[in-house]
Amino acid sequence: MDKFVINGPTRLTGEVTISGAKNAAVAIIPAVILSDGICRIENIPNISDVHIITQILYALGADIKRVNLNTLEIDPRNIHTTVVPHELAKRMRASYYLIGALLGKFNKARVSMPGGCDLGIRPMDLHIKGFEALGATVKTENAMINCTADNLIGSPIYLDMVSVGATVNIMLAAVKAYGLTVIENAAKEPHIVDLANFLNSMGADIRGAGTDLIKIYGVPKLHGTNYSIIPDQIEAGTYMVAAAATNGDVLVKNVIPKHLESISAKLEEMGVQVEEYDDSIRVISNGNLRRCNIKTMPHPGFPTDMQPQLSVLLSMAEGTSIVTENVWGNRFRYIDELRRMGMKAVVDGQVAVFEGGCKLTGAPVMATDLRAGAAMVIAAMAAQGQSEIENIYHIERGYENIVEKLTALGADIKRITVPDETPKAAARVS
Ligand code: UD1
């Protein structure tokens, strides 16, 4: 049971380089299955979610060569099974992209229901609706999703609500289908565009990614490619908020500022100075934070994956702020933990009201999910005294070298390995 021990308060200063996007990597790596050649992918973040999805491809039979820490060469030509067992799929949410990729390549897939962060009910009805519209038969039995098709045939698909996962999965399944697939009300997140660019670099014909209408003209064959993944929007946003919460001055490098507009706008509204350059953003805070309200929305709205981190900042600002969570049903669980550090908030369903002006103090807390964990790291760096954050495996799913990056910015953060207390060890103590 490893944990972070953080002593605060810290003023973060200096430069940090953002890694490749987790949510793009976990879509692009399964997309390699669709290729008939070797794909070399660069700027892959070295995080546990990527290790798991890579292990799944390896278990299916792909040959995988690690060129360096952030580059993989994947040859999918020896994939010999279309079954992804529970032991692998349960370890991450994005394992459901194996369904679209295997179905798109082999016309069949049998994948266990996915795991991942507990953010409330996470249905897959829109994914299934998409597969069925393409001509697949989908059956769910014993927590396995079983898809088969004689042929996949392009079709118009309207998504009742904007879903990143369904948009990705339909793109994967449709890219080699016969004819034209049109996804209406598609998600517009940066990683949707990155996946489309990756598939197009393999010979796909996908148009309109980044808008709510994506057209996929099916192609019979996809070839190998060289590709570099975009920088991580949420990792960048997390360091921006960390700078703001610690009265810091941080240059966040290797970013696409356009992807960060909704986050920059909120920080500016709160009185934080944000300077935008070609591929970096400097965030400077003098500690005078103003209240503001947030409503999470699909891209280009304010991302739900930044909601817990920004809420830490709101609890330190002058005045009362209201946060409305429109994407997930259960994304305020971190507040119970952060109350131990002095956060004051009232939650009513999808709305949380944050009382500002809180003086945070160090405390032991438990990361309840990935972004909640990131919020706790930020709070601990802003707080007076020592904090211990448990369940850091959540955080390490999505943040590459977080200890090294924060230490370089001046944080006092250590990763401690705590041996499991086995019954034998406990007996020795007593
Ligand atoms: C992705 C991100 C996640 C982020 C979320 C929203 C990845 C790997 N994960 O998750 O970090 O928080 O987008 O930006 O990219 N829904 C349905 N039916 C479906 C699918 C979704 O009702 O079939 C609902 C969900 O319950 C949720 C909303 O649609 O309320 C958005 O979910 P979705 O965009 O699909 O999220 P994920 O792709 O799982």
Which residue type does 370 have?
A: L
Say if residue 266 is in the same domain as residue 356. yes
Q: What pLDDT, on a 0 to 100 scale, did the predictor assign at position 395? A: 97
Specify the pairing of strand 213-217 against strand 321-324: unpaired
Q: If we measure between CA atoms, which residue out of 190, 133, 183, 185 comes closest to residue 161?
A: 185
- 366-376, pLDDT tens digit by residue? 999 999 999 99
Q: Is 33 in the pocket of ligand 1 (CB under 6 A)?
A: no
Asked if residue 347 lies in contact with residue 282, where contact means CB atoms within 8 angstroms, the answer is no
| Beta carbon of 26 within 6 Å of any ligand 1 atom | yes
Residue 349: inside a domain, yes or no? yes
Q: Is residue 426 part of a domain?
A: no
23 CB less than 6 Å from ligand 1?
yes
Q: Would 423 be classed as within a structural domain?
A: no
Beta strands 39-42 and 71-75 are antiparallel
Q: How does pLDDT run across 20-74, given as a tens digit for each residue? A: 999 999 999 999 999 999 999 999 999 999 999 999 999 999 999 999 999 999 9
Dihedral (Cα; 73, 76, 81, 86), 10-degree rounding: 30
Protein residue whose Cα sits closest to atom 7 of ligand 1: 23
What phi and psi, each to the nearest 5 degrees, are found at residue 8? -125, 175
Of 15-24, 92-101, 214-223, least confident by mean pLDDT is: 92-101
Ligand 1 mean position, distance from CA 274 (Å): 29
Q: Check whether 425 has a pLDDT greater than 50.
A: no
In a domain? residue 404: yes
Q: How many CB atoms lie within 10 A of CB 351?
A: 13
**Using CA atoms, how far apart are residues 77 and 35, in angstroms rounded to an integer?**
8
Q: Helix 190-201 vs helix 164-174: angle between axes, to the nearest 10 degrees? A: 10
Predicted pLDDT at 200? 98
Residues 325, 312 share a domain: yes
Closest-CA residue to 390 (of 361, 422, 367)? 367
166 CB under 6 A from ligand 1? Answer: yes
Active site residue 117: yes
Q: Which of these is catalytic: 117, 147, 292, 358?
A: 117
Based on the fold, state whether residues 264 and 275 are members of the same structural domain. Answer: yes
The atom of ligand 1 lying closest to the CA of 161 is 29
How far is Cα of residue 73 from the mean position of the Cα atoms in its chain?
22
Whether 99 and 235 map to the same domain: the answer is no
Question: Closest ligand 1 atom, CA of 305?
Answer: 12
The reply to whether 75 and 220 lie within a common domain is: yes
Any atom of ligand 1 within 6 Å of the Cβ of 32? no
| 163 Cα–ligand 1 center, Å | 5
For residue 143, the SS3 value is coil
What are 242's two structure tokens? 């960390």
45 shares a domain with 11 = no
Distance CA(399)–CA(300), nearest Å, equals 22
The residue among 228, 245, 278 that closes a domain is 228
Q: What is the pLDDT of residues 229-252, one digit of tens each?
A: 999 999 999 999 999 999 999 999
Residue 79's pLDDT band (boundaries 50, 70, 90)?
Answer: very high
* Domain coverage including residue 390: 2-18+231-417
Say which range, 9-13, 87-91, 224-228, 281-285, has the weakest mean pLDDT. Answer: 87-91
CA of 303 to the centre of ligand 1 (A): 11
Question: For residue 143, is pLDDT > 70?
Answer: yes
Verify that 199 and 240 share a domain, yes or no: no
Q: What is the DSSP string of 41-106?
A: EES---SHHHHHHHHHHHHHT-EEEEEETTEEEEEGGG----EE-HHHHTT-GGGGHHHHHHHHHH
Report the number of distinct structural domains present in the chain.
2
Please give the Cα distance from 217 to 110 (Å, whole number): 25
Q: Given ligand 1 and candidates 327, 334, 395, which is best to mutate, with the most ligand atoms within 8 Å of its CB?
A: 327
The response to whether residue 122 sits with its C-beta less than 6 Å from ligand 1 reads yes
CATH number of domain containing 209: 3.65.10.10
pTM of the model: 0.96
**Residue 269 forms part of a structural domain:** yes
Is 254 found in the same domain as 220? no
What confidence tens digit (pLDDT) does each residue in 162-178 have? Answer: 999 999 999 999 999 99
Note the pLDDT tens digit of each residue in 94-128: 899 999 999 999 999 999 887 655 656 678 999 99
Return the DSSP state at 289. P
Sheet containing strand 249-253, edge to edge, reads 13-17, 249-253, 280-284, 273-276
Query: Both 6 and 37 in a single domain?
Result: no
d(CA 131, CA 99): 9
As a whole number of angstroms, the distance between CA 281 and CA 271 comes to 16
Q: Which atom of ligand 1 is nearest to the CA of 328?
A: 30
From 203, 228, 253, the end of a domain falls on: 228
Residue 195 maps to a domain: yes
pLDDT, the chain, mean: 94
User: Is 427 among the domain residues?
Assistant: no
Based on the domain organization, do 92 and 178 belong to the same domain? yes
pLDDT at 427 over 80: no
Residues 114 and 75 both lie in one domain: yes
Which of 122, 129, 295 is the best mutation target for the ligand 1 pocket, counting ligand atoms within 8 Å of the beta carbon and taking the most?
122
The Cβ-side half-sphere exposure at 119, using a 13 Å CA radius, reads 20
Which residues, in sequence order, are CB contacts of 263 under 8 Å at separation 6+? 236, 237, 240, 241, 302, 303, 306, 310
Do 44 and 168 share a domain, yes or no? yes
Choose one of 179, 200, 228: the last residue of a domain: 228
Query: According to the model, what pLDDT value does residue 424 have?
Result: 46
Supply the residue whose CA is at minimum distance from atom 5 of ligand 1. 164
Judge if the beta carbon of residue 327 lies within 6 A of ligand 1. yes
Would you state the pLDDT for residue 115?
A: 63
> Sheet containing 321-324: which strands, arranged edge to edge?
294-295, 321-324, 351-355, 344-348
The H or E element containing residue 401 is none
Atom of ligand 1 nearest to the CA of 22: 8
- Kindly give the distance from the C-alpha atom of residue 415 to the centroid of ligand 1, in angstroms, as a whole number: 31
Distances in whole angstroms, Cα of residue 43 to Cα of each of 18, 203, 227, 326, 407: 10, 21, 9, 31, 22
Identity of the residue numbered 374 = A
- Nearest atom (ligand 1) to Cα of 129: 23
- Residue 429 within any structural domain of the chain: no
pLDDT at position 428 = 34
Dihedral over alpha carbons 118, 374, 270, 303 (to 10 degrees) = -40
- Whether 216 and 205 have beta carbons less than 8 Å apart is answered as yes
Q: Is the confidence at residue 429, as pLDDT, over 50? A: no
List the residue whose alpha carbon is closest to atom 17 of ligand 1. Answer: 123
**Closest-CA residue to 50 (of 36, 76, 30):** 30
With the most atoms of ligand 1 within 8 angstroms of its CB, the residue from 22, 99, 117, 164 to mutate is: 164
Q: What percent of the chain has pLDDT over 70?
A: 96
Contacts of 40 (CB under 8 A, 6+ apart): 67, 71, 72, 73, 224, 225, 226, 227
Cβ(115) – ligand 1 distance below 6 Å: no
Ligand 1 in reach of 236 Cβ (< 6 A): no
Q: Whose CA is nearest to atom 35 of ligand 1?
A: 163
